[in-house]
Amino acid sequence: MFRQASRLLARTTTPWRRSRAFSSDVPATPAQDSNFIESWSKVIPNIDPPKTPSSFMTPRPATPSAIPSKLTVNFVLPYASELSAKEVDMVIVPATTGQMGVLPGHVPTIAELKPGILSVHEGNDVTKYFLSSGFALIHANSVADIIAVEAVPVDRLDPALVQKGLADFTQKLGSATTDLEKAEAQIGVDVHSAMNSAITG
């Protein structure tokens, strides 16, 4: 009985495995819908068909056949580009699920970032930034795009100001009366606690 069940399960699951396409198998260039363009031309021949969002996107870079030796990092803020196409050995990002190390060949991922330290490892050199929040987008071609709302090198943080801010927001949290005041104070406590941890190591 168990032999038949395993055979039936193998028979039903095998086609699914074969038919499911991975993101790296999807063609990099967007395909045009010829039926739509033909129908549009019949109905409105004097106006070009509208462009879809995929028309404005550059083709996805091909996934390399071998894992590259370096990770390419783009680290941007709303007002500046901290790192642009910089090749590094590894980055460690403060994801909401915990510290996440990213090496070349990392599985494609999107991670939300929380207040914490972004470590950029290049040989024996480690550059650390304090991030307030943001997102990390890890691509299949060993490119990592890190987008932060605010960031500052850890060595530029003033320990006295961080301690003062932490004390102020802790006091505000204790005296808050509305949900909005509590939420704002809690965010301040979380950010200043993370900055304090970044300074003390």
Average pLDDT, the chain: 83
What average pLDDT does range 161-170 have in this prediction?
A: 92
Tokens of 90: 């590894």
Share of the chain above pLDDT 70, in %: 80
**Average pLDDT of the segment spanning 69-98:** 93
Q: What is the pLDDT of residues 30-54, one digit of tens each?
A: 556 778 888 888 888 888 888 777 6
pLDDT of residue 3: 53
Place of tokens 């032999």: 3
Tens digit of pLDDT for each residue in 172-182?
Answer: 999 989 999 99
- Determine the Cα–Cα distance for residues 115 and 93; give it in Å rounded to an integer: 10
Domains and CATH numbers, the chain: 63-154 (2.60.15.10), 159-200 (no CATH)
